[in-house]
Amino acid sequence: MMTGMTQNVLRKKRVGLLLIPALLLSLANNGHTGKVEIDHLIDWVDPFIGTGGHGHTYPGATMPYGMVQLSPDTRQNSWDASAGYHYSDNTIIGFSHTHLSGTGVGDYGDILLMPTTGDVQLEQGSEEHPETGYRSRFEHDQESASPGYYQVKLVDYGINAELTTTYRVGVHRYQYLKGERANIILDLRHGVVTDEIIDLQLEVISPYKVRGYRKTNGWAQDQTIYFVMEFSQPFKQYGIKNGESLLENAKKVNGKQIAAYFTFAENTEEVKVKVGISHASLDGAEKNLAEEMPHFDFDRVKKSAEFIWENELKRIQLGRQENPTDKTIFYTALYHAMLAPNIFNDVDGSYKGHDKKIHITHDFNYYTVFSLWDTFRAEHPLLTLVDQQRTADFINTMLTMYQQGGHLPIWELAGHETGTMIGQHSIPVIVDAYIKGIKGFDTKLAYQAIKAAMNRDYRGLVQYRELGHIMAEEEGESVSITLEYAFDDWTIAQMAKALGYIDDWQLYSKRAQAFVNLFDPSIGFIRPKQYTSWIEPYDPKRPTVHYTEANGWQYNFFVPHYVQLLIEKMGGDEHFIDKLDEMFNTVSDIPGKDITGLIGQYAHGNEPSHHISYLYSFAGAAWKTQEKVNQIMSKLYSTKPDGLSGNEDCGQMSAWYIMSALGFYPVAPGSDIYVFGTPRFNQVTLPLVKGKTFTIKTVGLTGDNFYIDKVELNGNYYPYSYIRHEDIVAGGELVFYMSAEPNIEFGKEVSHRPKHYQDIKPLLPVPLFQSPSKNFYDSINVDIKSSEPGVKIHYTTNGEHPTQESPVYSQSLTFTDTTELKALATKDGFLPSYIQSLEYVKIPYQFGVTYHTEYTPSYPANGDVSLVDFQTGSTNFRHPNWQGFYDVNFDVTIDLKQLRKVKSVATRFLEDSRSWIFLPKNVTYSISVNGESFKQVKNIPYETPSNFRPAEVFMPAVNLAEENPFQFIRVTGEIIGNCPDWHPGAGKPSFIFADEVIFNLAE
């Protein structure tokens, strides 16, 4: 272990790996015969797995957690272009130096090179007409990839292109046909998605060397990539295109549309290129190139990369006689799990901090690309188990981000917090490492940072803390956010208890029970609330704005920390098991959303489902966990390009397989418990610190024998359906005895089941207010209920907080004026509920709405009254007051119920083009006395944007002060049609979002 080394020593140690002769890879002596017999782990990795379907992986060359990801780009603008490459494509644009692995949003694709022959072209061309640009066709049978290496034949040029890397340097080798004019194109305009280019610079230093930078706003805002590029041969001619101008022999060019060509001497048959990059400075790129690649020996770098990959993959060692298909899936998964996060500091320790300043790290490596909503579940727990030093570096990086940027990362990319996804999931990563004994970071600072994360004014956290959950009118994805914040709170409670902070432990343990405020025992679902009551109608199969990449089925089981409490709420073990069975057996139909990897309503293609198959064990049905885990591993992973059932998501999809194939899974990171599933291999060895090993063996394992009959730990009978972290890291041997028939007694006893539930009082759910609406015209009746039987509900209507001395609710309340209602539930043996409150507002009028086009069921807002209910949304399209119209015009008639004099009318529309939501091309207002013949009074045009803009609400208005009284007004918004050509959804339908038609009536 390298804990405690200075940054310089640590850096030299790691860089030194690149210089170890590859000969060491081939020196494995077989006994006394002298015969060499080698099982290279890198040979079991297939980087093409996940490049098809929606896996969004890239096949190119990179190092474990490397800064450079040198890979081919085959497409630029679509969802499946997130990694730049898709297996279904047949042309290559070029080879860029940065890529994301398996994300659902695209970025990077920086510094693209493309070798060509013949006349120079500086435009990309298209998939359909590659001859119109510099891109080339290719065929998969002339393409290969392995860890640290990629090769392809560019059919249109007859060029063989090879790629390899060090940690911070991309290395190219291009072999040209003899007699052809040899060119290399450098396109700084190119990115995996359409970035807003802020500034590009290209400087020619000599015939061997160029350098520059690329500054963009994309998913990562204010991103700069610096590069220094050297050629093994001098170029004889070059040109730089800046916009429409082609500049010959220019030395330094800045602009927003820069591409260049470099032509080499006649009969050039090979050119090698090395490109050092840096996120900090040009000087950093120079140093990275000089230290990591002081030569042009391509094969030497390739072999060193293979050696380093081989040693990383040895962190988990399978037996040699394993099923080849499973072994390929496993080691490719381990390879994918080691692609991110990515090292962000230069060889001298320099990096760009979250305060936008350049800093130097001295005693740890600083990383980027933290896809934490995905990776906290299994990717980080996997690395906590097999790579403690790097885990400590990750945590030190997170704590540095907290110090420099003011908060822990959520989804961090290239020195920028994107804010993508939900939760505060740095917290479970930090706590999981602490609970499992990882040292090397400041515990006091870590505890301060995780508490600060949950005390922010951010995405519903204020209401979550005050009300014990988030309601739909406060924040989109309210159910998912509530549940994930609750899990984060539970992990804080674990660290608080370990540190002896009992008050904090009690506070965060209470907050961690937030699911009870959204659980409806009458139907057995955790479901959304709006204005204190259940949203109707409710279909758990429909993925609505109340969930994150999931539906009600998939989030119904996201209480991984209090599974026992969830079981109790669902009516006990048998009812809980029945509910899980129903999920896996309900027809695989997810209306209105492309959710993948389905087994019934279980969706392995998205992370919220990943722990669910293991929950049977908490109810004493471990054999059902074994059955479902085996089904998922067998059905939803393969060796094909579409062998991943959803986005790889920076290692999480693969980490699930790795942990599950070992035979256990971290259901609740932050706990020291791993729940048994079913092992996939005959023997697995985990090398541990201080020379220890932990070996997992199976007896009787076959394709049909996937049930656990019994377990032994270190030679002793082991009746539990889980194992603790301390038992693994102590070293030893775990043996699973397998059977074709389930042993329903294994793990059935309560004392043998996994358990996270601690000795805390259960929390009473907040009271429910039942009424037709929160706004009323004349009067309104309100009932107060509780989903927990036998409670007392104390209430107030004077604005004061209720206490146990306040009146007890007994019958319906009637309000005739604006009134604020507050209520508190109490019951012996329970913690009192949070205080529920709602202001009932008296409104001046009630109008009717007729829809001439239908709103989409995925974005229904409050139904047919939504446009006149005096309730508006935010700039977040997930806010439940937005009503979505998909691929149709917005066309409604408002009935004012009588002839009225109207001063003006405005309609609120949302523009959020990143979410495929555009303003109408034009908005037309027409008025009528009888609802049959209409007079157009105004048409308001809007120009479709030519690039992404921040989400904004627009209110096209019409002045009607000069018009006679009328009863009906028709509002029409013409949809732009399909998303425009510059958009990643180009050619696919768009949305119009509206939330209110606002009237200014004459007195």
Residue type (1 letter), 463: Q
Neighbours of 638 (CB within 10 A): 15
Dump pLDDT digits (tens) for 881-893. 899 999 999 999 9
Q: What's the confidence (pLDDT) of residue 947?
A: 84
pLDDT at 6 over 50: no
Percent of the chain whose pLDDT exceeds 90: 87
Dump pLDDT digits (tens) for 400-436. 999 999 999 999 999 999 999 999 999 999 999 999 9
Q: 859 is written with which tokens?
A: 């974005």
Dump pLDDT digits (tens) for 796-839. 999 999 999 999 999 999 999 999 999 999 999 999 999 999 99
Kindly indicate the confidence band of residue 5, based on its pLDDT and cuts at 50, 70 and 90. very low
Least confident piece of the model among 15-24, 334-343, 517-526, 611-620: 15-24
Q: What's the confidence (pLDDT) of residue 910?
A: 97
Nearest residue to 678 (alpha-carbon basis) of 313, 320, 326 = 326
Q: What's the confidence (pLDDT) of residue 9?
A: 26
288-324: burial string, b at 16+ Cβ within 10 Å, e else: bbebbbeebebebbbbbbbbbbbebbebbbbeeebbe
Instruction: Measure the CA angle with vertex 67, ends 66 and 72; round to 5°.
Output: 90
Whether the CB-CB separation of 163 and 95 falls below 8 Å is answered with: yes
Nearest residue to 488 (alpha-carbon basis) of 439, 436, 559 = 559
Q: 18 is written with which tokens?
A: 């690149």
d(CA 391, CA 681): 26
Q: What's the confidence (pLDDT) of residue 38?
A: 58
Give the pLDDT mean for 152-178: 97
Q: What is the mean pLDDT of the chain?
A: 93
Q: Which residues pair with 229 in a beta bridge?
A: 210, 275
Give the CA radius of gyration of the chain: 30
Helix (H) or strand (E) holding 73: strand 69-73
pLDDT at 18 over 60: no
Neighbours of 19 (CB within 10 A): 11
In Å, how far are 179, 526, 561, 611 from 483, measured between CA atoms? Answer: 65, 9, 10, 14
User: Cα torsion at 319, 323, 327, 329 (round to 10°)?
Assistant: -160
Residue type (1 letter), 26: S
Dump pLDDT digits (tens) for 836-879. 999 999 988 889 999 999 999 888 888 898 999 898 988 989 88
Dump pLDDT digits (tens) for 322-373. 999 999 999 999 999 999 999 999 999 999 999 999 999 999 999 999 999 9
CA atoms within 13 A on the CB side of 529: 27
d(CA 196, CA 215): 9
d(CA 109, CA 927): 52
Could you tell me which residues come within 8 angstroms of residue 458 by beta carbon, excluding any fewer than 6 positions away?
407
pLDDT at 232 over 60: yes
Could you tell me which residues come within 8 angstroms of residue 845 by beta carbon, excluding any fewer than 6 positions away?
777, 896, 897, 999, 1001
Dump pLDDT digits (tens) for 775-786. 898 999 999 999
Could you tell me which residues come within 8 angstroms of residue 260 by beta carbon, excluding any fewer than 6 positions away?
122, 185, 186, 187, 188, 202, 210, 238, 239, 240, 241
Question: The whole model's pTM is what?
Answer: 0.91
Percent of the chain whose pLDDT exceeds 70: 96
Nearest residue to 300 (alpha-carbon basis) of 151, 113, 166 = 166
**Residue whose structure tokens are 């997170």:** 398
User: Cα torsion at 278, 283, 284, 289 (round to 10°)?
Assistant: 90
pLDDT at 946 over 90: no
Q: 182 is written with which tokens?
A: 């040899």
Q: What's the confidence (pLDDT) of residue 31?
A: 32
Question: Residue 811 burial (CB < 10 Å; 0-12/13-18/19+)?
Answer: exposed
**Residue whose structure tokens are 């899990």:** 487
d(CA 237, CA 191): 26
Question: Residue 598 burial (CB < 10 Å; 0-12/13-18/19+)?
Answer: buried
Taken in order 744, 746, 747, 750, the sign of the CA dihedral is positive
d(CA 847, CA 645): 47
d(CA 136, CA 129): 10
Q: What's the confidence (pLDDT) of residue 32?
A: 32
